[in-house]
Amino acid sequence: MSSHAYVAEIATDRDGNEHVVQGWQDDMYGAKLGFWLFMFTEVLMFGAMFMTLTYYMMLHEADFVHASASLNRYLGGFNTVVLLISALTMGLGLLKMRHGDIKGAKTMIWATIVLAFLFLGVKGVEWSLEYSHGVFLGLDALQPGNEHSKPFGQILFFGMYFTMTGIHGVHILGGIGIMLWLLKRINSGKVTPEHHILHFNIALYWDLVHLIWVFVFPFYYMMGAGTEMDTATLSSTIEAISHLGGSNEHH
């Protein structure tokens, strides 16, 4: 199955004209097409979740605004910037690969990986902060019928929030995995400036992952911004984080 030795076949019609036969080997366009189709399925998956979210938002608008106000816009905003930069490094890496600068391409991929980890780290801090406020899947606040229960709209908001940011996080993790694999393929000479379809497709994937976040961020974080419930300030955020390490001892 070595694709290097592949020579396309020629088909001849009845007038003697020759036509190059497209084989499955060496089909850059086909590989792109396939990956675009795959991305379509991702869009549909997240699309269905956004639809669900919109439906519940229409039923419980006030609750949604209220719940949104309690999210941490500083951390969420920081993460948005991190992902945007990572999309840039990813794109630059692809450009460098195309121009034959393999070393530069690898640096950019590594930079993207580091930013991805940073994103996950910040996300982890956010979830922990929410946990320490008693808001997490399985905790009383998100269960019905007890003294800490939040109203339905908020339960649904947070249910979807943890679901969607969680699934998005899984995509980031997956992205890190395939980027490491990409580095391995580059090192073993399987991905080269002439044959960089894998790099191209992974860059496409990463674009999608950051694009989804670009929709997640306003939907969850910005809905409650600037309302009277909005208590997030930079100083309270820093304070909350500094308490995070010791929070177990207090409770």
Which residues are near another protein by CB under 8 A? 1, 9, 11-14, 19-24, 27, 29-30, 33-34, 37-38, 40-42, 44-46, 48-49, 52, 55-56, 60, 137-138, 142-145, 151-153, 155-156, 159-160, 162-163, 167
* Minimum separation from the CB atom of position 141 to another protein (A): 11
* Minimum separation from the CB atom of position 136 to another protein (A): 9
46 versus 217: smaller Cβ distance to another protein? 46
74 versus 220: smaller Cβ distance to another protein? 220
* Minimum separation from the CB atom of position 81 to another protein (A): 28
* Minimum separation from the CB atom of position 13 to another protein (A): 4
13 versus 249: smaller Cβ distance to another protein? 13
CB 148 within 8 A of CB 134: yes
How many whole angstroms separate alpha carbon 35 and alpha carbon 33? 5
Q: How many CB atoms lie within 10 A of CB 241?
A: 17
List the structure tokens of 129: 């902060």
* Minimum separation from the CB atom of position 69 to another protein (A): 19
121 versus 144: smaller Cβ distance to another protein? 144
One-letter amino acid at 39 equals M
Task: Supply the DSSP string of 11-37, one letter for each residue.
Answer: EE-TTS-EEEPPPSTT-HHHHHHHHHH
Cβ partners under 8 Å of residue 58, min gap 6 = none
Q: How many CB atoms lie within 10 A of CB 42?
A: 15
How many whole angstroms separate alpha carbon 104 and alpha carbon 227? 46
100 versus 166: smaller Cβ distance to another protein? 166
How many whole angstroms separate alpha carbon 213 and alpha carbon 215? 5
Cα 110–114–117 angle (5° rounding)? 140
Cα 7–24–5 angle (5° rounding)? 30
44 versus 173: smaller Cβ distance to another protein? 44
One-letter amino acid at 118 equals L
* Minimum separation from the CB atom of position 62 to another protein (A): 13
* Minimum separation from the CB atom of position 41 to another protein (A): 4
3-state secondary structure at position 20: strand
188 versus 235: smaller Cβ distance to another protein? 188
